[in-house]
Structure 1
Amino acid sequence: MTEDEVTAWALGAAAGDADAFEHVFRALHNDVRRYVTALADDFQMADDLVQETFLRAVSTVHLFQGRGSARAWILTIARRTVVDSLRRAASRPRLADTSDWQHVAECSQPRDLPGFDEGIALMALIDSLPDARREAFVLTQVLYMPYDDAARTVSCPVGTIRSRVSRARTTLWAMLDDRAEPALAC
């Protein structure tokens, strides 16, 4: 589905078409999930954050005016949802019995799936990028969002997004050249 079609459905939903938002949801669900997962760095919370994003979107769709793409609008909501979640989590005490719960969770995942190790290595490389660069890289290179929409999503100039993506690429290439693969000793 094209950006224009999704935006047209969002405008239809804003005008009161009850079925139009379902099309928006179906078209953008996977992109929102990937984006939220990358930002939150928590696969367990991703589904809840995606649900919260779409609940916020459906409750405010009447305000959508189509000045930008519906995709950029929803991803902006997703970004705010993740930030709110991170702030809530930071204000609560941790309830883990181990100091390295992420390592335990990674070791409990199935490892015999095709491409699993490469996916973990790629996510570890992307996760090692500074937050701003990682966000710009995920939006433009993983979700294929146009640079101007990504800039609107994170509220910064397009040139800043381009610079962050370029620096993220340079960093990733350097890590690959140095064969700095993250170790997952389980």
Structure 2
Amino acid sequence: MKIEVLDDIKKGHKKCVTIEIPDGDYTVMLDIDYHQRLAKAPENKRSEVKRCETVQEMFDLMGNEEYNNWHRENRHAAYVPTKEVNGEEIDAFTFISDNSDEEERKKSEDYEAWCQVIRNALKSEEAEMTIAIAIDGVTPEEYAKQYDLKRDTVYKRYQRARKKLKKYMLEHWNELPFENNRPII
């Protein structure tokens, strides 16, 4: 008996291999395959498991299962072809620019610009408190505890600082160092 088996499916290249099995030996193999699939099947689906009549049928079934399992694991993986140039392997990602830190740089520039606007608009202590609360995310309670102040004092100072900052920004709107992302007041 001759059987064709698809080999090396995982790399995307189908290659047929012919296997010769002496008559009589394949029946044991078919029985073992049937019992293994029967054991794997859920209780309510066992009646649907059929015994393969030919070895080719069994190998086709095994090939489909193997391919489906491989595809389930790798269907979203990108295949990037590589090419050897002057003894060095080069892939497509070599030619793509890396802008991964550009967003972080932009955030840092925006942070510095905002801090400068706040420092220009407010006195030193007011500015540092506003930067801490409005930009750095420190709560008024934490700020009050850190500087040994009353919570209500910090709230009132912050409220006054916001009012001054708003007035400053309205007066100097066109001078602010922001292009497309104007602040919302």
The question of a shared fold, defined as TM-score above 0.5 by the shorter chain, is answered with: no
TM-score by length of 1: 0.32
Higher relative contact order (CA 8 A, sep 6+): 1
TM-score by length of 2: 0.32
Query: Larger strand proportion, structure 1 or 2?
Result: 2
Query: Larger helix proportion, structure 1 or 2?
Result: 1
